[in-house]
Chains A and B, each alone.
Chain A
Amino acid sequence: MGKVEIINGVETINGEGFQLTLLDKVIGAARANSVWPLPFATSCCGIEYMGTMGSNYDVARFGMERMSFSPRQADLLIVAGTISKKLAPILKQVYEQMAEPKWVLSVGACACSGGIFDTYSVLQGIDRVIPVDVYVPGCPPRPEQIIEGCMNIHRLVKSESLRRRYSDEYKHLLKKYDLNDE
């Protein structure tokens, strides 16, 4: 047991009875350390995701062990596995049901680009129907890779401006994917 060093996650100026920091940073840190994922696990990558949930690769240390299967309460949509064309409208519906702020992690080659299944029934990448933030390649990716994807999501979450969702770039993205602009 070595000496444990506690790093201040958010830079603050402390004093007697007050703490001075930027609101963006505090909210970013709070959001990043308690992301509630929605594991949209379809196939083999879903089992690797279950392995990541297990105690060996543990996502609970990131605050992500509360799997929210209800889209209304989820922050992060983890699409792990092949999405077929039959499932694409449902994926879009689930994404629309999620409340802002929301992020999407595409796990596995099939979700990123269709993978080895270049067939008539498989959607060649979920970014054809929903906007994706981080892609994790692999077939299936090792749990360490999935965790790295989650950590990249955390980086995005921490640094995202609170006004990002009202920016023109974001509105343009929503229009491109034909999503509801609410």
Chain B
Amino acid sequence: MSNLTNEAVLARIQEKFGEAVRNHEEPYGLLTIEIQADKIHDLISWLKTDEVLKVSFLTLIGAAHFPNEKGREICVNYHLHSLVNNVRMRVRAFLPIETPNIQSITDIYVGADWQERETYDFFGVIFEGHPNLVRILNEDDMDYFPMRKEYHLEDATREDKDDRYFGR
């Protein structure tokens, strides 16, 4: 249904960004590109303006925490969609947990605003250049990032439920 194949998209991106593109794969037909963290902003803004690819819709920004991969613990995923060509793609960057900084894309897509705040709220990813990077879903005075793997689902201070009976 789409005019462009994944290979054509990948070739065009590699032509422009060269070795910044570290890895690429196609799980379940969705082109997934891993790129250096400092090139994310350039890639996404170039994708929006490129006349062939026209990837102009930001679907989702998310993150995942892989505590076992040293130096690459936090993975930030950007799902993009070219509505004109009907091509979806996923761009990702890996960040170390000590300095999870990445440039914000709120100047490219206004809709990235809250999604980046949510990613900061859950994982602690610092988006440089974001106009208002504060917690959005959790309470403002929470001092940890709950979606990281080292934290439990349940509230640590609860005293009414006995873990022995809850199978934990």
Chain A contact residues, CB within 8 Å of chain B: 85-86, 118-121, 124
A selection of 14 A-B contacts at a CB cut-off of 8 Å is A85-B139, A86-B138, A86-B139, A118-B154, A118-B161, A119-B153, A120-B154, A120-B155, A120-B156, A121-B139, A121-B146, A121-B155, A124-B160, A124-B161
- On chain B, the residues within 8 Å of A85 by CB distance are 139
- On chain B, the residues within 8 Å of A119 by CB distance are 153-155
Chain A minimum-CB-distance residue to B155: A120
B16-39 contacts to A, CB under 8 A, are: none
Q: Taking chain B's interface residues, is the majority helix, strand, or loop, or is none over half, making it mixed?
A: loop
Nearest CB of chain A from residue B137's CB, rounded to whole Å: 8
A85 to B140, CA, bound (A): 11
Chain A minimum-CB-distance residue to B152: A120
A85 to B138, CA, bound (A): 9
Chain B contact residues, CB within 8 Å of chain A: 137-139, 146, 151-156, 158, 160-161, 166
Chain A minimum-CB-distance residue to B139: A86
- On chain A, the residues within 8 Å of B156 by CB distance are 120
Q: Taking chain A's interface residues, is the majority helix, strand, or loop, or is none over half, making it mixed?
A: loop
A85-B139, A120-B152, A120-B153 given; 11 more Cβ-contact pairs under 8 Å: A118-B154, A119-B154, A120-B146, A120-B151, A120-B154, A120-B155, A121-B137, A121-B139, A121-B146, A124-B160, A124-B161
A119 to B156, CA, bound (A): 10
A119 to B160, CA, bound (A): 13
B158 touches A124 (CB 8 A): yes
A130 to B130, CA, bound (A): 39
- On chain A, the residues within 8 Å of B153 by CB distance are 118-120
- On chain A, the residues within 8 Å of B138 by CB distance are 86, 121
Chain B minimum-CB-distance residue to A84: B139
Nearest CB of chain B from residue A123's CB, rounded to whole Å: 10
- On chain A, the residues within 8 Å of B166 by CB distance are 118
A86 to B156, CA, bound (A): 17
